[in-house]
Amino acid sequence: MSILHSLLTTTAVLQLAGFWIVPQSLAQTSKSNEILASKNANYDSTHLANELNRLQNIVKQNSVPISLDKAIVIGITNNPELLQAFGSIQQYEWSLIAAQRRWYPQLQLSNGSPFIGYSWGTYINNQYGMRGNRDSSTTLSSNSLYSTKKNQSFLLQPGAIVSWNFIDPTRKPDINAVSESLKQQKLLFNVSTRSLILNLQQSYYGIQSGQQLINSFKQIYEINKQQLKMLEAQKNIGMATVLDVEQTKSQLFTQLSQLVSYTQEYIKQTALLAEYLALPPGQLAIPSDPAALAGSWSETLQETLKNALQQREEILASLAAAESAQWRGIASIRSYLPVFQLMGTGSLNFSNGYPYVPVDDDPGSAYHWTRTWTATVGIGFSWSLFDGGINAANAQSFYAQSRQQKAQAAQTELTVVRQVRNSFAEMQTSRVAIASAQRAYESAKLAQEVARVRWAAGVGDITSVVQTIQQLSIAAQQSSQAILSYNNAVAELYRYSATWPGSTEKDVQMRLRMMRNPSSNPKNSSLMP
């Protein structure tokens, strides 16, 4: 039952990876349902192996063989994770430009109220207090005590203000803070790129290892299958027992289950590689070369540690973030200092109309216009003497953030040392493991051949045959794992020492140019010709 469940699970993985061309009859057929529903079904190992081969062929038919170098180039060129990291770089580049432009003078247009338009007014004067003045020798009439006047004007009132902060204590710290933040984002872009390359390499090596295991266990499966046929034939004539047959059959299905597991992992790794390469749905890439030792590492452990501590972008990014926070704290403290500026203003006030005349009178000759030009120039300043301690508190907050980033850099250094030591040790031990596993595989292969010959000659037992075949399976696993561990360790040493493998640095620079000018470099993620 477990083998069938694994086969259906593998089919589901293919569909999730984008293979909608997988026949639905393979995933959900009445035949499969009948097999799963029947607890006493007599499974045919050949049928199960054929179904497994069918799944493997689906992957190969929709895959393009590529080399590791080409896979890295495609991943660097197409993966949107790098575009996301580059967006952060552009964000801080413009922030730096904005901070640097604080050196420029500012021009502001201003106006009266309104800038251009009309003004009307009515003036009423009622001297009602004069009516009760008995000391007055003149009798005042109501008309002389009460008067109304009007005015009307057409107005034009433009103005301009030019200012330049030639002494601003916060300007330079702000520029330095943004500059360090930009430096941090560039370093983090390299971190994303190096991680992508490592993921590509490990996925590529994982596919190679999976294919190696599949090929090895197919051979072992065929050996067991032939052995089982011989036992069943001997059982029919009484030369073999039920125990002999079932023992071999149990081993056959156990190895078939392992083959299913390796196929599942193989399909998952191909889907993962397609994700890193940003391939279209339904398209995969597989290694063009079989599993083998890929590259080497010539530096000593001490040289590797030295380079890693000097070059790792994670450490440098934390230090850049610490510097940025430190400068922001300085800017907050300096906001208490005065800002001196050179200022100039100019304005025009034009009025055309008449002043206050009696409401009932015709303005007549009272119409006139006036025009006034005014201009000022000089030095001014602004000084925030007290804000309740807000900026001082903000400065302490930035200083604490700076200390936190420096502590993070120190912690990252410890992590880097651990990563380099682990990968270096894994590389060295894998070299020994490869030699040992290869010798073990050769000996196990010869042992099972001898055991089968002895059993066929009647001087050996089936238990020895089963044991030697099991040893061959273990040796095949160990050989594949040793090669995979070595390749991963070398790839990790490049990553953890911040060293670009091969010509990848040129590929990264090319991708940066493409992202800065995307119109002239259209994206093409397809591997198909």
- pLDDT digits over 468-503, tens only? 989 999 999 999 999 999 999 999 999 999 999 999
pLDDT at residue 237 in the model: 84
Residue with tokens 């569909």: 15
pLDDT at residue 92 in the model: 97
Q: What are the backbone angles phi and psi of residue 35, rounded to the nearest 5°? A: -65, -40
Separation CA 37–CA 49 (nearest Å)? 20
Both tokens of 295, joined, read 């590259």
Band (141; pLDDT cuts 50, 70, 90) = low
Separation CA 184–CA 432 (nearest Å)? 41
pLDDT at residue 36 in the model: 44
pLDDT at residue 29 in the model: 42
Band (310; pLDDT cuts 50, 70, 90) = very high
At 63 the three-state DSSP class reads strand
Given a cut of 60, whether residue 302 has pLDDT beyond it is: yes
Both tokens of 286, joined, read 């597989």
pTM of the model: 0.84
Given a cut of 90, whether residue 70 has pLDDT beyond it is: yes
Band (306; pLDDT cuts 50, 70, 90) = very high
Integer CA distances (angstroms), 106 to 34, 93, 173, in order:
82, 22, 20
Q: How many CB atoms lie within 10 A of CB 50?
A: 10
Given a cut of 60, whether residue 394 has pLDDT beyond it is: yes
Q: Are 74 and 66 in contact (CB under 8 A)?
A: yes
Encoded amino acid at 123, one letter = Y
Q: Which helix (H) or strand (E) holds 157?
A: strand 146-167
One-character DSSP codes across 371-397: EEEEEEEEEEEE----STTHHHHHHHH
Band (408; pLDDT cuts 50, 70, 90) = very high
Both tokens of 220, joined, read 């072992």
Given a cut of 80, whether residue 175 has pLDDT beyond it is: yes
Separation CA 380–CA 164 (nearest Å)? 10
Torsion (CA) 441, 444, 449, 450 in degrees, nearest 10: 140
Contacts of 60 (CB under 8 A, 6+ apart): 286
Q: Which of 68-72, 132-136, 280-284, 449-453 has the lowest mean pLDDT?
A: 132-136
| Nearest C-alpha neighbor of 7 from the set 29, 18, 21 | 29
SS (H, E, C) 92-133: HHHHHHHHHHHHCCEEEEEEEEEEEEEEEEEEEEECHHHHHC
β-pairing, 63-66 with 284-287? parallel
* DSSP code at position 325: H
**pLDDT above 70 coverage of the chain, percent:** 87
Given a cut of 70, whether residue 41 has pLDDT beyond it is: no
Contacts of 525 (CB under 8 A, 6+ apart): 74, 78, 277, 278, 279, 280
Separation CA 357–CA 293 (nearest Å)? 105
Both tokens of 172, joined, read 């330079």
Separation CA 176–CA 95 (nearest Å)? 11
At 284 the three-state DSSP class reads strand
Q: What is the rounded average pLDDT of the residues 36-65?
A: 74
Q: What is the rounded average pLDDT of the residues 425-440?
A: 96
| Nearest C-alpha neighbor of 314 from the set 197, 388, 411, 213 | 411
Separation CA 518–CA 400 (nearest Å)? 40
Indicate if the alpha-carbon torsion angle 306, 190, 326, 178 is positive or negative: positive
Exposed, middle or buried by CB within 10 Å (0-12, 13-18, 19+), for 430? buried
pLDDT at residue 16 in the model: 45
E strand spans, 306-405: 339-358, 368-382
Q: What is the rounded average pLDDT of the residues 340-365?
A: 88
Given a cut of 90, whether residue 174 has pLDDT beyond it is: yes
pLDDT at residue 374 in the model: 94
